[in-house]
């Protein structure tokens, strides 16, 4: 299974197939991870990452969180911060900057 196959469904329009083939998911994961790591032990919410990467689309950024967490590269716990929307967003840290023991939230 190629990376581009994971980025689209078989019944998606041809334009989605073309875009998925052109997308380098590993490169985008690295970009998002670098942005998250830039907040060091302070951590960040999705709004912070989006602000740090203004030239990338929302969906290109937020779609990387799950894979990064599954790979153990970022950590999310129950800590939250109020987002621009006024709603809470989960905080996340690059795993090397996580300031707590796993499970010990703020």
Specify the pTM. 0.74
Report the pLDDT value the prediction gives residue 13, as an integer from 0 to 100. Answer: 77
Go through the chain and tell me how many residues it has.
106
Residue with the bigger pLDDT between 103 and 50: it is 50
Beta strands (DSSP E) in 1-106 are 74-82, 88-94
Name the CATH architecture for the domain at 3-97. Orthogonal Bundle (1.10)
Give the residue extent of every domain in the chain. Answer: 3-97
Please tell me the distance from the alpha carbon of residue 79 to that of residue 4, in angstroms, as a whole number: 33
Question: For residue range 8-40, what is the model confidence (pLDDT) as tens digits?
Answer: 567 777 776 666 655 567 999 999 999 999 999
Q: For residue 39, what pLDDT is reported?
A: 98
Residues 65, 63: Cα–Cα separation, whole Å: 6
């Amino acid at each position: 299974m190629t990376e581009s196959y994971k980025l689209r469904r078989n019944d998606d329009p041809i334009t989605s197939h073309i875009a998925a083939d052109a997308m380098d998911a590993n490169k985008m994961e690295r970009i998002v991870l670098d942005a998250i790591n830039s907040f060091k032990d302070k951590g960040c919410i999705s709004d912070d990452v989006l602000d740090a990467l203004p030239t990338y689309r929302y969906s290109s950024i937020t779609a990387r969180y799950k894979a990064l967490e599954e790979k153990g590269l970022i950590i999310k716990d129950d800590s939250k911060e109020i987002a621009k929307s006024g709603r809470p967003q989960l905080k996340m840290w690059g795993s090397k900057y996580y300031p707590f023991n796993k499970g010990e939230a703020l």
